[in-house]
Amino acid sequence: MCSEFWSGWFDHWGRKHETRDAATMVSGIKDMLDRGISFSLYMTHGGTTFGWWGGANNPAYSAMCSSYDYDAPISEAGWTTRKYFKLRDLLQSYLSAGETLPEPPAPIPVIEVPAITRWQVAPLFDNLPAPEQTEDIRPMEQFDQGWGTILYRTTLKDDISGTLHIDEVHDWAQVFADGRLLGRLDRRQGEFTLPLKGTLKKGTRLDILVEAMGRVNFDKSIHDRKGITRRVEVLSGDTARELKGWTVYNLPPFHDFVSHRNYRPGKADGMPAYYRATFKLDRPGDTFLDMRTWGKGMVWVNGHALGRFWEIGPQQTLYMPGCWLKKGENEIIVLDLKGPAETCVAGLATPILDQLRVKAPETHRKDGQNLKLDGETPVHTGTFASGNGWQEVKFDHPVEGRFFCLDATSNYDGSNIAAIAELDVLGADGKPLSREHWTVVYTDSEETRSGNRTADKVYDLQESTFWQTVDNTAYPHQLVIDLGRNCRVTGFRMLPRAEAGAPGQVKDYRIYVKAKDFAY
């Protein structure tokens, strides 16, 4: 039996909206029905992860959008789709004599809501709750908080300069000095250090505002503490000085908390703030709140937490069920941690789930970056066997190193493409090393036009996803991974794509392992 036959896939912030071909889905289901295979269709209706419940993957850390539309046969709002009717047509052909399928129900009425432009504001730093004191940094769970945002504040006892190191940011942080924004750190990007421009003087108030974006929901990383997990240090030369003596403010995502801030007319001038407004309706109905002019945060309507928004996309609207609206006056509250370009929300008749607003899909190669392997000596050279399934390679001798490079020099199908679904590096005991803290340092090519085929897919614990190079870049193809620490490496394992014929399967390759990163 097939316990999860995927009709689509979920979306992640900052990545291309996921879709799956309807004909391919129906073909796979037909194949199972013809063979008498039981299956569960995941998802038939994906819906929405309302509130703060959107999850995350790790490694590499990547938070999911609030919409769980999933490109499923039934849409986020319960609408039938082209994929639904293709599935329905298939299932009708397997009915017993005399059986019929009922007609699908009519869609729930949809309304448009005129732009809401008159707001009151409650600046976050002017509306802090009673704090707790702690000498050492601790994650938010140790302050009896499971979700939302947390503020860590300290007053500098000495001048500091160099680099601020936050170990670790879980998941998105903003650093302020006396109310002035110094920078932002994003766990998705492995950003845990912030170079300080100049010197912060003794007596400066240092604020670190951290948002918990989504909890990892499987494997070893499921113990996903939020806030700042270990410590905050100032790095200067070869020295590291830990900052102590913190005042901590819990900022939970509950309506009882966000509705009892001190709202007033005015603006927050790009600083974190809560916004509140009311709007009137002649009749309720489903709608999609357009958040495209806002930065990053959450929305509540009539006490219901709708979900998260983030300007980077791909999700730009929040599904608002009509059953949570009412005739007459309705209340909306927005927490924007980054600050809006314009305080305007309108209700649309259709969702916007595929508008990515980063300059380009995120990849692991900087502009002008080229890996230099001249003068490097491979620790192993070999040829993979043709076909599907895991392949394990043992080195002649163990090697010590932190940076693992796969240099693929040819493939089996004669195309330009290289594709790998999963990669393990074997440690001193011959078993796979933990991949929890791996990061991709470099890859020469990643396919982001037709799907999210980025290099971190080789260690995302999903055998159905894969790294793939673009089809117009010739071999060789390289992938460099930072293992997170120096390790004794005895070999590796590689899994090609699962499809028949293993498209893009690498044939000949070279492996390099170094204690220090490669030259670019």
Average pLDDT over residues 64-86: 97
Does 243 fall in a domain?
yes
CATH assignment of the domain containing 341: 2.60.120.260
Tell me: do 142 and 210 sit in the same domain. Answer: yes
Does 520 fall in a domain?
no
Note the pTM of the prediction, 2 decimals: 0.89
Residue 33 corresponds to which amino acid?
L
pLDDT at site 220: 86
Highest mean pLDDT among 214-218, 220-224, 325-329, 434-438: 325-329
Percent of the chain scored above 70 by pLDDT?
99
Question: Which of 166, 119, 128 is CA-nearest to residue 267?
Answer: 119
Average pLDDT over residues 385-399: 97
Does 398 fall in a domain?
yes
pLDDT for residue 362 is more than 80: no
Question: Which of 401, 449, 454, 394 is CA-nearest to residue 426?
Answer: 394
Percent of the chain scored above 90 by pLDDT?
93
Tell me: do 207 and 232 sit in the same domain. Answer: yes
pLDDT at site 100: 93
Tell me: do 39 and 10 sit in the same domain. Answer: yes
How far from chain centre, in Å, is Cα 135? Answer: 32
pLDDT at site 360: 59
Does 294 fall in a domain?
yes
Q: How many C-beta neighbours within 10 Å does residue 356 have?
A: 20
Average pLDDT over residues 73-94: 97
Tell me: do 245 and 264 sit in the same domain. Answer: no
Q: For residues 75 and 87, give the distance between their C-alpha atoms in angstroms, rounded to a whole number.
A: 14
What are the DSSP calls for 101-139, one per residue? Answer: PPPPPPPPPB--EEEE---EEEEGGGS----EEESS---
Does 375 fall in a domain?
no
Tell me: do 47 and 137 sit in the same domain. Answer: no
pLDDT for residue 245 is more than 90: yes
Phi, psi of 478 (to 5 degrees): -125, 150
Tell me: do 284 and 312 sit in the same domain. Answer: yes
174 three-state secondary structure: strand
Which range of residues forms the domain containing residue 12? Answer: 2-92
Does 332 fall in a domain?
yes
Spatial CB neighbours of 44, under 8 Å, sequence gap ≥ 6: 7, 72, 73, 74
Cβ–Cβ under 8 Å, residues 482 and 409: no
Average pLDDT over residues 249-276: 96
pLDDT for residue 508 is more than 80: yes
Tally of structural domains, the chain: 4
Q: State the average pLDDT for the chain.
A: 96
Write out the E strands in 112-212.
113-116, 120-123, 132-134, 149-155, 163-170, 172-177, 180-186, 193-195, 205-211
pLDDT at site 269: 86
pLDDT band at 490 (very low <50, low <70, confident <90, very high): very high
Q: How many C-beta neighbours within 10 Å does residue 385 have?
A: 10
Tell me: do 118 and 265 sit in the same domain. Answer: yes
pLDDT for residue 311 is more than 80: yes
pLDDT at site 231: 97
pLDDT at site 367: 85
Tell me: do 57 and 10 sit in the same domain. Answer: yes
Does 450 fall in a domain?
yes
pLDDT for residue 358 is more than 80: no
pLDDT for residue 267 is more than 90: no
CA-to-CA separations, 284 to 49, 183, 323, in angstroms, rounded: 22, 42, 7
